[in-house]
Amino acid sequence: MTQHHCKSITTRRCGMAPIAALVLGALLLPASAGAASETAECDSRSCFAQHFQQCEAASHAEQQGIAAVRYAIEGPADDGCKVSMVFTDNPNPEWVDQPLTFVLDTDEPLDGQLQDAVEACMTGDAAGYQCGGALHALLHGESGADGGGEPLSAVGADERPCGKPVAVTGEPLYPLPRNGRWGYVDGDGEWVIEPQWRQAGFFSEGRAAVDAGTASGSVWGVIDRDGDYVVEPELASMGGYVLGEAEAIFAEPLIQPFSEGCAAVDMEQPWFLTRDGKTWLRDGLPDGLAELDTGDVDSFVTPDGEDWADQLADIPETLADARVISFDGFHEGLTRFQVRPEGWPIEKDVFGWMNTAGEVVVRPLFQGGGHFGNGVAPAGIRDGLWGYIDTEGNPADWPDRWTLPVAGSVSDGIAWFGDDTIFYLDAEDYSAINDPTITLDEPLTVQVFAGDEAQLQEARIIDGGDFSDGLALVELESTDKDAAKTLAYIDTEGEVAFALNDYNVCQPSPGYALETGFDAMRFRNGLARLRVAEKAPGCNTMRNDGAFLVSDRSHFIYIDTDGEIVFEESRTADEAS
């Protein structure tokens, strides 16, 4: 199956190719040699290095792949020499003429430090380089593109802003595009907030993330139900997808949906936003992370006495130099976090859970995990060995502990597990709600390869999403050799409520990024949003990703829990049709 092949159930993107990586890769190419010069305007890296040893004012310009840069020695600073870098040409024009500053050690060779410092400052892993400047502010969400603006204010030191669900009154609002811009409509498809953004996320707890950027990149803010900014659009995405004839750059939302009062922000150093636009845990690690003892694994003895400790994947002896890669939203007062130990490869990231005080309550000993629901969360001790844990990190009293190929969070009292075939379990009595083979009341005529048609009546679930409003989106595949497939919604009894084969729906994209793939197509407040192709055979490369792909080859529809279209995107009318 496709969706569950991401390493973990997280908000980290799968398969994203940011232009920042392309630019950064070009920036870090070895510099070409040139003739030495005795002047402060150096025409070679070696000349610049000589001035650097004495921390003397000098500058040097280089063309590096698709980017052009100018380095300058600013002068002595605490613990070293202050150096700046400025893009004089870059595919992202918003980066041009925005300085990036850092401090280097004159007792060490310049070249290695220069490369490491630029990479660290641009990716958010400061590593002691005292990163600063307007480009650093732009890349990492500090207010004010010129570096002079006031940063977002933080909550008080003793405040616990996250972990409590927020009740919101008023009719539901749904994101919808018109003529390439996104706004929000009510349940009848009438405009409540006029289209004005490049991208628009779903509302949760009365807040939604919107992209107010330009063709050169996405810049995110947060609005309330009146369309007013709670957080001004100042969180700039570092990369994204290049789309359309104009080659505009779009990035998935940096701001996750709000959950229990806060939203996780997916910067390189992740943190949280509150509903009133303040920051929490922006400059630190979860409390106690660096001092954790990862050697004691007694908690992997299950209640029936079976010891799974020897099945744990490799874990670091210490997390003193670890870096937090991502946070999840809060669920039942806890949030899952992803940690990368110093010097460890990405495939060895570990996962733990933190409470509303920022304290680690479940040690990061797991190779994957999801959010809490019904008092349990899915967790994997290594690939192919998943189970469920309680809020203290002990194995929950669920069946098949540490033997599930992969598992999902409990949603609406039901959780999925599986790999090539997906099963759904009732969280109360652990009973499966669907059999390996689902028999439809009447056969469906579906498209197969080369535009041929086939009949689908007996099928298995090969992919699926979480339950919401009593329904879950699944992908069915025929048990016959023709391998006919279709998307359908099943109910909590495991029966097919309705199939989508009449709508020419674009296939969900792989991955677990929120508001993409199956998550984008789940029901919210009684309606589900689908992308459908204008005509057969399909959507080509246009998938059911988040709100950022507007195409003349497809459009969006909203359906109700009976599978009927309630309203749909119209590119010319003042209201959705």
* pLDDT for the residue numbered 257: 95
Contact between 186 and 538 (Cβ < 8 Å): no
Q: CA–CA separation, 253 vs 205, rounded Å?
A: 17
Residues paired with 317 in a beta bridge: none
* Residue 537: cis peptide before it, omega within 30 degrees of 0: yes
Angle between helices 110-123 and 45-53 (to 10 degrees): 90
Q: How confident is the model at residue 66 (pLDDT cuts 50, 70, 90)?
A: low
Give the range among 125-134, 247-256, 465-474, 506-515 with minimum mean pLDDT: 506-515
pLDDT tens for each residue of 323-373: 888 999 999 999 999 988 777 777 788 899 999 999 999 988 898 999 999
The answer to whether 502 touches 489, Cβ cutoff 8 Å, is no
Q: Which of 7-16, 97-106, 132-141, 426-435 has the highest mean pLDDT?
A: 97-106
For 313-324, what is each residue's pLDDT tens digit? 666 666 777 888
Convert the pLDDT of each residue in 211-249 to its tens digit: 987 766 788 999 999 999 999 998 877 656 655 545 566
Q: Any idea which of 307-316, 329-338, 380-389 has the lowest mean pLDDT?
A: 307-316
Res. 55: pLDDT tops 80: yes
Higher pLDDT pick, 150 / 160: 160
Mean pLDDT of 508-531: 77
Question: How far is Cα 508 from Cα 81, in angstroms, rounded to an integer?
Answer: 50
* Local confidence band at 17 (pLDDT 50, 70, 90 cut-offs): very low
Beta bridge partners of residue 418, listed in sequence order:
422
Confidence band of 141 (pLDDT split at 50, 70, 90): low
pLDDT in tens, 480-504: 866 788 899 999 999 999 999 888 8
| pLDDT of 425 higher than 50 | yes
Is the distance from CB of 65 to CB of 50 less than 8 angstroms?
no
- Which residues lie closer than 8 Å to 471 by C-beta, 6 or more apart? 489, 490, 491, 497, 523, 561
Mean pLDDT (whole number) for 274-299: 78
Q: What is the pTM of this model?
A: 0.75
**Cα separation, 30 vs 44, whole angstroms:** 12
% of residues, the chain, pLDDT over 70 = 75
Residue 258 in this model has a pLDDT that exceeds 70:
yes
**Ramachandran assignment for 51, one of left (phi > 0), alpha (psi -120 to 50 degrees), beta (any other):** alpha
* pLDDT score at 126: 61
Pairing of strands 80-89, 67-77: antiparallel
Tell me the average pLDDT across 535-561.
Answer: 65
Tally of residues, the chain:
577
Q: Can you give the pLDDT at residue 38?
A: 53
Give the H/E segment covering residue 140.
none
Contacts of 83 (CB under 8 A, 6+ apart): 52, 71, 72, 73, 74, 101, 102, 103, 104, 114, 117
Residue 306, CA distances (Å) to 296, 394, 408, 519 in order: 16, 13, 23, 36
pLDDT at 172: 97
- As a whole-number percent, the residues of the chain with pLDDT over 90 amount to 41
Mean pLDDT, range 278-290, rounded to an integer: 83
C-alpha distances out from residue 575 to 115, 519, 528, 569, Å: 52, 26, 18, 9
User: If pLDDT is split at 50, 70 and 90, which confidence band does 577 have?
Assistant: low
Among residues 460, 556, 562, 566, the alpha carbon closest in space to that of 182 is found at: 556
pLDDT at 512 over 90: no
Distance of CA 260 to the CA centre of its chain: 18
Handedness of CA 143, 148, 153, 157 (dihedral sign): positive
Residues 233, 237, 238, 240, CA torsion sign? negative
| Backbone phi, psi, residue 420, to 5° | -70, -30
pLDDT > 60? residue 424: yes
Strand 100-104 and strand 80-89: the pairing is antiparallel
Contact yes or no for 457/445 (Cβ under 8 A): no
Which is higher by pLDDT, 569 or 454?
569
Residue 51 sits at φ, ψ, to 5 deg, of -65, -35
Tens-digit pLDDT profile for residues 143-156: 433 333 456 888 98
Tokens read off for 305? 């006495």
> What pLDDT, on a 0 to 100 scale, did the predictor assign at position 480?
81
Q: Is the pLDDT of residue 260 over 70?
A: yes
Task: Identify any residues that bridge with 217 across adjacent strands, giving them in sequence order.
Answer: 214
Lowest-pLDDT range, 18-22, 102-106, 392-396? Answer: 18-22
If you average pLDDT over every residue of the chain, what do you get? 80
pLDDT band at 532 (very low <50, low <70, confident <90, very high): confident
